[in-house]
Amino acid sequence: MEQNQRNIMAIRMFGGFWIRWGEYEITSSVRTKKLWMLIEFLILHRGQAVTQDQLYLALWNQEECDNPSSALKNLVYRARNFLQKEFHTNEELIVFRDGGYWWNPDIPCLVDCEEMKRLLEAAQSAPYDERTINLQQAFALYKGIFLPRMEFADWVQRYRIRYQKMYESCVAQLSDFLLREKHIEKLIGFIKKAIEIDPESEDFRRILLQAYLEAGYYQKGLEYYQSITNKQNSTKLHELYERLIQNVNTVDFDLSAIKDELRKAENEVGAFFCDYNVFKNIYQIQARSLLREGRFLYVGLLVLSGISGGEIEPAIKSQVIEAVKETLVVGLRRGDVVSQYAENQFVMLLPLTDLQAGQIVTERLEKNYQLHYPELAVNWNIRFSQIEPIE
C-alpha cells in the first residue's frame, strides 16, 4: 500500500461522485446514501475537525434517531471498513482527532470543485492570456450539477447553488473573450458544450443566439429559437430573435434552403412548421417572387371548433392542438409551410393549382386526423385564398 500512499487521491463531485486512489476507484450508490454522504461531507470539510453534532445535523437533519451518538459511531465504523476494503489498505481514511472527525489530512487530495474554485480565483488576478487558460481549465472540470444523487440534503443544495453560479460566471467570461476576439466558430462550439451540461440556462441560450447572429447564421438562429420556444423565453431572447428576422430579410432567402434542410434526413417527411413571424417573412418573400416565376400560391386558414361548433373541451384542448399540428406537418408536402396563428387556428402556404385542389387537401387532412385521433374529435374548417403577387 506504500505506492498508494504516494499517489494523490482524485475526487469528483460534479455530475456524480467517485474517488480514484492509485489503481482503485469507487463510485457512490443510492443504496448506502448515508455512508456516502458522510464521506462526501468529510472530504468537503478537510482541514478542520467536524464535530459529532455537525455530522448528525448534516446526515440526519429532521429524521428521528433514538441514539444519535451510537448511530454516528456505527456509520463511521462502516465507512472506515468499506474504504479500507475498497482501496486495499490498512490505513484509516477517516480519523478522530481534536474532538472531531477528519478526512485523513496526511493524504493529498485533488477535488474537482475545489480545483475549479481555485482556478476561477486565480483567473481574476492573472495576466490576460493566463486568465483565459485558467477559465478553460475550470470549465473542463464541471461535468454537471454538484452531487446529483444527494439533492435531498440541505447542505448539498447550498453548495450546488454556489458552484452553479461559478460555472455560469466561467462560461460568461470565456464567451466574452471569444466574442471580443471574433472567434465566433469557437464560441458556437463552446457554448453548445455548456448547454449540454446545463440545458436550462437562458443565459447560455442567449449567447448561442448572439453567436449565430454574429456569424451570419440567421437561419440556424431562427431554427434554434424555434426549438426553445417552449422554455418561457425572456425579452432579451426575443430581441435577438427580432434581429435575426430583420437580417433574414436583408439576404437572398428562398424556400430552397428550407427544402434542403427537410431533405437532410431520409426519414423526414412533411411540411416546415415555424413561428408565425417566420411564416410572415416567408409569405412576403414568396409573394414577391410570384410575378417573375408565374406560379400559383395559396394561403389556407384552419379554424378548429368543438363537435357542436362551440369551444373545444378544455380537458383535451392541448392534446387536440398537438394532434392537429402533427397531422398538418406529416400530411402536407416538403416545402409547404405551416404555423400556428392563434390558439385554435393554423395557417398554411401551399403551391396549389386552384381551389378545388385545396378542397382535396382539406379532405385528406381531416380524414387522416379522424383515422389517427378518433378520441379527439373536433370540427375542421379550412378556407384557401390565392396570394396576390407583391411588386
User: Exposed, middle or buried: residue 186 (CB in 10 Å: 0-12, 13-18, 19+)?
Assistant: middle
Per CATH, domain 1-175 is 1.10.10.10: yes
Nearest CA among 8, 206, 216 for reference residue 107: 8
Cα–Cα distance, 249 to 243 (Å, whole number)? 10
Element housing 366 (H / E)? helix 355-372
Give ∠ CA 316-319-325 in degrees, rounded to 5.
Answer: 140
Spans of the chain below 70 pLDDT: 1-6, 30-31, 62, 229-233, 248-269, 291-294, 308-309, 390-391
Written as nine digits, the cell of 284 is 412576403
What letter represents residue 84's amino acid? Q
Distance from C-alpha of 186 to C-alpha of 178, rounded to nearest angstrom: 7
CA 336/CA 32 separation, integer angstroms: 56
> Is the model's pTM score more than 0.75?
no
Looking only at the bridges linking them, the beta strands covering 272-273 and 337-342 are parallel
What is the model's pLDDT at position 291? 66
Q: How high is the pLDDT of residue 189?
A: 94
Cell of 319: 392534446
In sequence order, the 6+-apart residues with CB closer than 8 A to the CB of 170 are 116, 120, 135, 138, 139, 142
Q: Which of 113, 235, 128, 217 is nearest to 165 (CA)?
A: 113
Instruction: Provide the pLDDT for residue 193.
Output: 95
Q: What is the pLDDT of residue 251?
A: 47
CB 153 within 8 A of CB 63: no
Which phi and psi (to 5°) does residue 121 adopt?
-70, -40
Q: What is the pLDDT of residue 352?
A: 81
Backbone angles phi, psi at 383, to 5 degrees: -125, 140
Burial class (CB in 10 A: 0-12, 13-18, 19+), 119: buried
Contact 37, 10 (CB under 8 A): no
The pLDDT of residue 254 is 44
Report how far residue 367's alpha carbon sits from residue 344's, in angstroms, rounded to the nearest whole number. Answer: 19
The residues, ordered by sequence, that sit 6+ positions from 93 with a Cβ below 8 Å of its Cβ are: 80, 83, 84, 87, 103, 104, 107
How is domain 270-386 classified at the CATH fold level?
A: Alpha-Beta Plaits (3.30.70)
Burial of 203: CB neighbours in 10 Å, binned 0-12, 13-18, 19+: middle
- In this prediction, residue 316 carries a pLDDT of 86
Provide CB contacts within 8 A for 285, sequence distance 6+.
253, 254
Closest CA to 213 of 243, 257, 177, 174: 243
Q: Are 302 and 367 in contact (CB under 8 A)?
A: no
b/e per residue 78-101 (b: at least 16 CB within 10 A): ebeebbbeebebeeebbbeeeebb
> Which cell numbers hold the place of 272?
416546415
Q: Where are the domains of the chain?
A: 1-175, 182-251, 270-386
Cβ burial 310-328 (10 Å sphere, 16+ → b, else e): eebeeebbeebbebbebbb
Assign a CATH topology to domain 182-251.
Answer: 1.25.40
For residue 342, the SS3 value is strand
